[in-house]
A and B are shown apart, each in its own frame.
Chain A
Amino acid sequence: MIKALLGPNGAGKSTYLRRLMGLDIGKIDRQMTMVFQEPLLFDLTVKENVALGLRFRQDKAVKEKVGRWLENLGIAHLSARRTLTLSGGEAQKVALARAFVLEPKVLLLDEPFANLDLPAQLELRAKLKKIIHDNRVETIWVTHNKAEALEIADHLMIMIDRKIVQEGPPERVVQSPASEEIAVFLGIENIFHGRVVINDGRSYFENDRIRFEVATEGKADAWAVVHPEDIIISEQPIAKTSARNTIAGTVSDIIKSGLTYRILIKAGEEFKVNITRASADELTLTPGNNVYLTFKATAVHIT
């Protein structure tokens, strides 16, 4: 089980981990261990580093366990090397082996890959996730990288300003951020402020600039989120659709971003919609064009 603790820099994530580990008061539970952002290897050989915690515990099977974990992390060939000569990725694998060899009940990871380049990050992320699950280690993995958090988390915790402000399954947190602050931090687009009113038994979100149907109860002070992935963009109103909202707007800008285009549309509020390059060519979108935005009432998330 991996709990990801996600938050901006300076939110207090590292302090939170240090406190869990008991480092500030020097009271350590030996069933827990921690891996930091830097490998923090000691000036010994690789295998001596990995053996350290076992030696502290006067373990009887040091050699066998160290050998197994050097193997598991693919660094057996580095066993006799002095740590000063390792690359960043190799050094962090040694740090991980040094933690796993203790067979901890709880593993704390403080941005373990933040210092590595992207390919090394991606390789180690997948490897570490598998090892954690295979060994059923209760893990708290701190990161400020949203993509990393979403890739590894079974459970996502958001920390802002020293407080855990929301937690739950990652999809749910991303789909339904509990506040505007969280939504902004998660980089969620199309957030509007207004109110939810009931009219003829139907709910509408509205403010001075826009009005569309939603599927929640009335609320005087509300934030609406319409995820870009839930919006269909078209040149004519879509005739046959179960989606309750079709809004006319004007393309204000088109931003190319790799293989996808981000389309900015003025429709009362400014909407952002992501489409593939092929769809953009098909639609022949240019700034100033009139388009229609279609989305379901149930796709709108209200907080």
Chain B
Amino acid sequence: MLPELLNILLLTLRVSGTALLISILIGIGLGVFVALRDFPARKLVIGVINTGMGLPPVVVGLLVLLFLWRGGPLGFLELIYTPTAMIIAQVILGTPIIAGLTLATIQSVPQKYKWQAQALGAQGWQMAWLLIRETRLSLLAAIMAGFGGIISEVGAVMMVGGNIKGQTRVMTTAIVLESQRGEIELAVLLGLFLLALSFSVNLGLTIIQQRTKRA
């Protein structure tokens, strides 16, 4: 049982960790870009991001399933029921959360600070870098929110991963399965592991966040 537990734990870390990293890169990049640049359909993009912050995981699962299904448009990639499919679903869930909170954070920086940065000669990336540094506390909170959405999610990974033992079974899907099978003790144990995992990642992020606050 223990090797299997460890396996589940490692797969959870791999899937959600990768999904989080990709969500951070896309989410912060997209959020900063939309906050600082004016382009056609900007309002539409903001609307899509904000809607995406509250996407129901099962709907995302269904959507990814439809695309990756053998007969679907991306069926030839043969990704269905693989960890990669699960990562894709979690990225779709995590990215809008991080992008939306990043967008709000960067937009809330008073215009005069952006003018000052421009007056000092900041261009493109330099402005983005400066504002990301300036708002790092809020951006770390955005990352924590994204991580929370990803690690706790069960519906999407169940649908696109299939909860296959040893291949696509992660903490959340295992908990659902074990509790349905009546293995309550195992389910509770898994739940505690999941909590501990979530807690330690957030603790790590919090330590980074609060260290930067030291004046």
- List residues of chain A with CB under 8 Å of any chain B CB: 18, 21, 23, 26, 28, 30, 32-34, 36, 38, 40, 42-44, 52-53, 55-57, 82, 84-85, 98-99, 102, 108
CA distance A42 to B116 in the complex (A): 10
Closest to B137 in A: A43
Least CB distance, A79 to chain B, in whole angstroms: 16
Q: What residue of chain A has the Cβ atom nearest to residue B127's Cβ?
A: A56
- A84 surroundings in chain B (CB, below 8 A): 215
Inter-subunit contact A21/B119 (CB<8 Å):
yes
CA A65 to CA B120, docked complex, whole Å:
15
User: Is residue B118 contacting chain A, with contact meaning CB distance below 8 A?
Assistant: yes
On chain A, the residues within 8 Å of B117 by CB distance are 42, 52
| Tally of contacts, chain A with chain B, CB under 8 A | 56
Please state if A34 and B119 are interface contacts (CB–CB under 8 Å). yes
We find that the number of chain B residues with CB closer than 8 angstroms to chain A is 16
Q: Is the CB of B130 within 8 A of A23?
A: no
Measured between beta carbons, the chain A residues less than 8 angstroms from B133 are 42-44
Q: Complex formed: what's the CA distance from A239 to B122 in Å?
A: 70
The minimal Cβ–Cβ distance linking B20 to chain A, given in whole angstroms, is: 25
Report A66 CB to chain B, min CB distance, Å: 13
Jot down 17 A-B pairs with beta carbons below 8 A, ordered by A. Answer: A21-B118, A23-B118, A28-B123, A34-B116, A34-B119, A36-B116, A40-B116, A42-B113, A43-B133, A44-B133, A52-B130, A53-B120, A56-B121, A57-B121, A82-B215, A85-B215, A102-B121
B34 CB to closest chain A CB (Å) equals 16
Residue B67 lies at the interface, judged by CB distance under 8 Å to chain A? no
Q: Are A40 and B118 in contact (CB under 8 A)?
A: no
Q: Are A23 and B134 in contact (CB under 8 A)?
A: no
B181 beta carbon closer than 8 Å to chain A: no
A56 with B123: in contact, given A42-B133, A84-B215, A85-B215 (CB under 8 Å)?
yes
Decide if A33 touches B123 in the complex (CB within 8 Å): no
